[in-house]
């Protein structure tokens, strides 16, 4: 299958997730095209891909504005094929159900704004890169981590992404995508 993976990243974790999905799917025999929304990469014609995965991180309660503009601008083309959304956030790692529900609301708001509605959604936990943040970000993320019972040792980075769960999600979506094509 030809799969388009469009994404945005601010701190690099979503790019790591995208590269992981790309390797997994290429090893499974699929052909992958990447589009970086922040660099302004183009989207191929719908005839040139069979399914699309969009991946983006939550930053201060929303997905990055360039990603939202990119998806809105290409919504018609993207909607022509089955789509999956990988939402990356710290809340996805939280044991508090309301935190995860909050992210689900952010995803719904994103779809309403852009006109792009995925058939499958995965909430992937991201990373805390304390050692790479400036003072303000380190302070802000430490406060978020405190609220969610996460790690507050700012001398280390912390990765929460569940790679096994991500692989299972991606493989299920790709397996089922041909069956939903034409029903969207």
Ligand X SMILES: Cc1cc2nc3c(=O)[nH]c(=O)nc-3n(C[C@H](O)[C@H](O)[C@H](O)COP(=O)(O)O)c2cc1C
Say whether residue 10 binds ligand X (CB under 6 A): yes
Q: Which of residues 152-171 bind ligand X (CB under 6 A)?
A: none
* Beta-carbon contacts of residue 136 (< 8 Å; ≥ 6 apart): none
Say whether residue 60 binds ligand X (CB under 6 A): yes
Say whether residue 87 binds ligand X (CB under 6 A): no
- Of the candidates 58, 67, 78, 145, which one interacts with ligand X according to CB under 6 A? 58
* CB 137, min distance to ligand X, A: 5
C-alpha closest to that of 4 among 64, 57, 63, 45: 45
Say whether residue 114 binds ligand X (CB under 6 A): no
* Beta-carbon contacts of residue 35 (< 8 Å; ≥ 6 apart): 4, 5, 6, 7, 41, 42, 43, 70
The site that binds ligand X (CB under 6 A) totals a number of residues, namely: 20
The two structure tokens encoding residue 115:
């006109």
User: How many Cα atoms within 13 Å fall on the side-chain side of residue 111?
Assistant: 18
Site residues (vs ligand X, CB under 6 A):
9-14, 57-61, 88-91, 126-127, 137, 140-141
């Amino acid at each position: 299958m030809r799969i388009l993976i469009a994404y945005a990243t601010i701190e690099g974790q979503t790019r790591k997730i995208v590269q992981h999905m790309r390797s997994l799917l290429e090893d499974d025999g699929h052909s992958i095209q990447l589009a970086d929304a922040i660099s302004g990469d183009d989207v191929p014609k719908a005839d040139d891909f069979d399914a699309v995965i969009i991946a983006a991180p939550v930053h201060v309660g929303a997905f990055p504005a360039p990603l939202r503009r990119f998806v809105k601008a290409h919504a018609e083309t993207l909607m022509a094929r089955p789509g999956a959304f990988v939402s990356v956030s710290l809340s996805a790692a939280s044991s508090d159900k309301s935190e995860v529900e909050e992210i689900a609301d952010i995803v719904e708001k994103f779809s309403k704004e852009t006109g792009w509605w995925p058939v499958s959604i995965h909430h992937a936990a991201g990373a805390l890169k304390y050692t790479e943040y400036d003072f303000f970000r380190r302070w802000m993320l430490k406060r978020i981590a405190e609220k969610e019972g996460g790690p507050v040792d700012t001398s280390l980075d912390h990765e929460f992404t569940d790679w096994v769960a991500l692989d299972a999600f991606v493989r299920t979506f790709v397996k089922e995508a041909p069956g939903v094509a034409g029903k969207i």
